[in-house]
Every structure is written in structure tokens, then in C-alpha cells.
Amino acid sequence: MPDSMTAFAVRGGQGHGHGWTWELRSVNGKGLDLRLRLPDWLPGLEQAARAALQGRIARGSVTLGLKVQREATGAGTAMIDARALNAALVMLKKVEATAAEHNLRLAAPSAADILTLRGVADMAPPEAETEALTAALLADLDRLIDDFTAMRAAEGAALEALLRDQLAQIADLVK
């Protein structure tokens, strides 16, 4: 029975101070084209996910996405990205200078305002928690791929039945 190349699967989970949602989708493609959108703060996840997909999927343009949210109760260390902070401060100076050129007065941003800018501050989970989270995510990825391949097989079976029915109708018309 042929498998379809188009499919979609989604799976969510929780553990190790985080909640997550996996999405796996594919469309027709000549070979296997993998596109992964994964958090970069989980070391080894991308390589392991790529290997898992290549081991179970042979064809199609496949996109794997993962969104991970930290639960409020999780432990972690607050970290400031110095480059992002410097870039944000440079941008603020440019905005203030441009506003002054137009005779506009801006309220000064507080430290709390600056910390809310994307990339400036982040909560980094402890390393042991990151390793356990990566292991849980990879276990969940295997179940996601199971769901995905089952959908491909079901769609392939439906297409095969449709084609067989149409061929039978053509055979009846040709008689």
C-alpha cells in the first residue's frame, strides 16, 4: 500500500518545568527536504531530531517545528545578553536623537522596560534540567513521527481506494 507524501501531526507535552508543542507536516517533494524550527538553547536536539526524521521518512518536503514554554514554577537563572542589551541601547539613543530632531520629548525608559525587549534578558534553565527536557522531547518526537506516518499511511490507503474505484469505472466504460 502506498503512503501519501502529505501529512500533518501535532503533539503537546509537559515536563521538567516546561510545556511544549511539536508540529510535523509534509508536502510532495522529489527527495527528502527537512526544515527544522527548533529552540537553539537545547543542545543536541536538532541533530537528534534530524536523525530521527531521516530514519523514518524517505521523501517529501518536511517541516518540523517545536515551541517550548517555561512553566512559572520552573527554576532557572536570569541571564542578560550583553550584545542584545548594547544593541537595544544604541537603538534607543537613535530613537531619542530622531525624536529630538522633530522637537518631540520622549519619556525615559526604565531598566524594566529595557529588560522586556526581545533577546535582552532570558531565563536559562539549569543544565541538568535541559538534558532531561531534551530526552523527554525526543521521546515525544518518536510518538509524533508515529502519528505522522500513520496519517501518511491512512491518506495513501484512501488515495489507493479512490484510484482503484476510478480504474474500475474506466474498465466498465471501455467494455
What single letter denotes the amino acid at residue 20? Answer: W
The total number of structural domains that make up the chain: 2
Beta bridge partners of 162: none
Residues 92 and 141 in one domain: no
54, three cell numbers: 531521516
- Residue 141 neighbours by CB under 8 Å, 6+ apart: 22, 49, 52
Domain of residue 113, residue span: 78-121
Collect the ranges in the chain with pLDDT lower than 50: 74
pLDDT of residue 74: 47
Q: What is the CATH number of the domain that holds 27?
A: 3.30.230
